[in-house]
Chain A
Amino acid sequence: EPEVTQTPSHQVTQMGQEVILRCVPISNHLYFYWYRQILGQKVEFLVSFYNNEISEKSEIFDDQFSVERPDGSNFTLKIRSTKLEDSAMYFCASSEAGTIYEQYFGPGTRLTVT
């Protein structure tokens, strides 16, 4: 069964550095999402993306964050200047279509900012 994949599984970076988290959504899916989970807290929505545009974003998704689909298979989340509080598990998800379809999640990338 097709799965969403994410790389790397664990990323360690220094405060102030830029980091790019990568995701390969399921191939026929058209909608893509990022969520994060700070240790001990709930999984939180960051952004949804369709047709090369952000369709919805949360208040967490500020100017430090950006998303891109650089080619036909990858979907990336960039954090421009990482802060300690960006340390979290980041989950990518995708869905066939938009708001009536369930989302399929990747295994996550654990980001540690030191």
Chain B
Amino acid sequence: AQTVTQSQPEMSVQEAETVTLSCTYDTSESDYYLFWYKQPPSRQMILVIRQEAYKQQNATENRFSVNFQKAAKSFSLKISDSQLGDAAMYFCAYRTRGTYKYIFGTGTRLKVLA
């Protein structure tokens, strides 16, 4: 069975600094997707970034980028130039290609300090 692990329950970062959130996963599948979702307080989860396992190039979306290490089964999220609006719960998620089910990690709560 697939699992997703986020080992950092909480992280803090100073405004304008860079922070990296960790995620590891376990699967025997070779074709899958990985996602980072952001959930601001009392709001819905919003997709931040997505990575297809067959793509070697790390995905980037503006200030958000990932470090995808397929062999190590690691998928970390880097947030550059952190802003107050980045404060949220961040969930790492996995989905095997061809299925509908997301498998989530427990989340990392990010605090951004002014």
With the chains together, A99 CA to B102 CA distance in Å? 10
Name which of A33, A35, A41, A102 has the most chain B CB atoms within 10 A of its CB.
A102
Q: Is the interface of B mostly helix, strand, loop or mixed?
A: loop
Q: Please count how many residues in chain A sit with their CB below 8 Å of the partner chain's CB atoms.
A: 25
Q: B62-103: which residues lie under 8 A (CB-CB) from chain A?
A: 91, 95, 97-103
Say whether B35 faces chain A, with CB atoms less than 8 Å apart.
yes
Q: A6-39: which residues lie under 8 A (CB-CB) from chain B?
A: 31, 33, 35
Q: Write out the residue numbers on chain A whose beta carbons fall within 8 Å of the beta carbon of B91.
A: 43
- Contact of A107 with B42 in the complex, beta carbons under 8 Å: yes
Q: Write out the residue numbers on chain B whose beta carbons fall within 8 Å of the beta carbon of A33.
A: 100
Q: Please count how many residues in chain B sit with their CB below 8 Å of the partner chain's CB atoms.
A: 22
Say whether A66 faces chain B, with CB atoms less than 8 Å apart.
no
Say whether A90 faces chain B, with CB atoms less than 8 Å apart.
no
- Contact of B97 with A103 in the complex, beta carbons under 8 Å: no
Say whether B45 faces chain A, with CB atoms less than 8 Å apart.
yes
With the chains together, A100 CA to B52 CA distance in Å? 10
Q: Write out the residue numbers on chain A whose beta carbons fall within 8 Å of the beta carbon of B4.
A: 42
- Contact of B103 with A45 in the complex, beta carbons under 8 Å: yes
Q: Write out the residue numbers on chain B whose beta carbons fall within 8 Å of the beta carbon of A31.
A: 100
Tell me which of B45, B97, B100, B105 contacts A105 (CB under 8 A).
Answer: B45
- Tell me the nearest residue of chain B to A99, going by C-beta: B98
Q: Write out the residue numbers on chain B whose beta carbons fall within 8 Å of the beta carbon of A41.
A: 106
State how many angstroms separate the Cβ of A42 from the closest Cβ of chain B: 5
Q: Write out the residue numbers on chain A whose beta carbons fall within 8 Å of the beta carbon of B102.
A: 35, 43, 45, 103
